[in-house]
Amino acid sequence: MKQILLYAIAFILFSGVGNAQVNVNGVNLSAKLKTSTAELQLNGAGVRKKAIFKVYVLGLYLKNPSKDANAILNSKEEKAVKLQITSSMVNSKNMEEAVREGFDLSLNGKVGALQSKIDNFIEIFSHEEIKTGDYFILNYVPGVGVKSSKNGKHLATVEGDDFAKALFGIWLGAKPVEAALKTALLGGK
């Protein structure tokens, strides 16, 4: 009986079943994310902090793992982030403000050319009030755009590689919203 138990434990450890999820700040992120067109791998994950609050957990999913932020931003391969709200301090209004601030940083204040796309994207945060536990999947599909969903329900698609690069630049750009989060998304600590 002991031998069977040891074999079972060894099987779980070495088959990858034990690595099927990563826990970040109490949020379980799957090692893989299935989209309508691909299966992406978790590249890295971290916590977005604002003042003393841990406001959300973010996981970056790629077709091919990478530690090169510029390569990820310029890649025309499918990619996605899963953003899960972890603080009751987050609501639709301050999420909109934070996303606008993120685009401003990502684009060095030059948001004019993408303003209408940014406005359309930000509407996903106001469809219904945001609460702790809600999650958003922001999935860039080449030739389609960024498909956004909340809690598994598709909300919008915003076209354009330029928009996708600006969106992912919020976390991976030269001026990310949080340097430690960028490091974590690239697989660092």
Q: Which residues contact 125 (CB under 8 A, 6 or more apart)?
A: 92, 95, 96, 99
Mean local confidence (pLDDT), 115-130: 92
Model pLDDT, residue 36? 87
Q: Which residue has the tokens 């702790």?
A: 132
Would the pLDDT of 157 be above 80? yes
The CATH class that applies to domain 20-185 reads alpha beta
Domain ranges of the chain: 20-185
Which residue type sits at 110? Answer: K
Would the pLDDT of 115 be above 60? yes
**pLDDT tens for residues 43-83?**
999 999 988 889 999 999 999 999 999 999 999 999 999 99
Least confident of 7-11, 54-58, 156-160: 7-11
Q: Are 31 and 46 within 8 A, CB to CB?
A: no
Taking the complete model, does pTM exceed 0.75, yes or no? yes
Q: Which residue has the tokens 């972890």?
A: 86
Model pLDDT, residue 52? 84
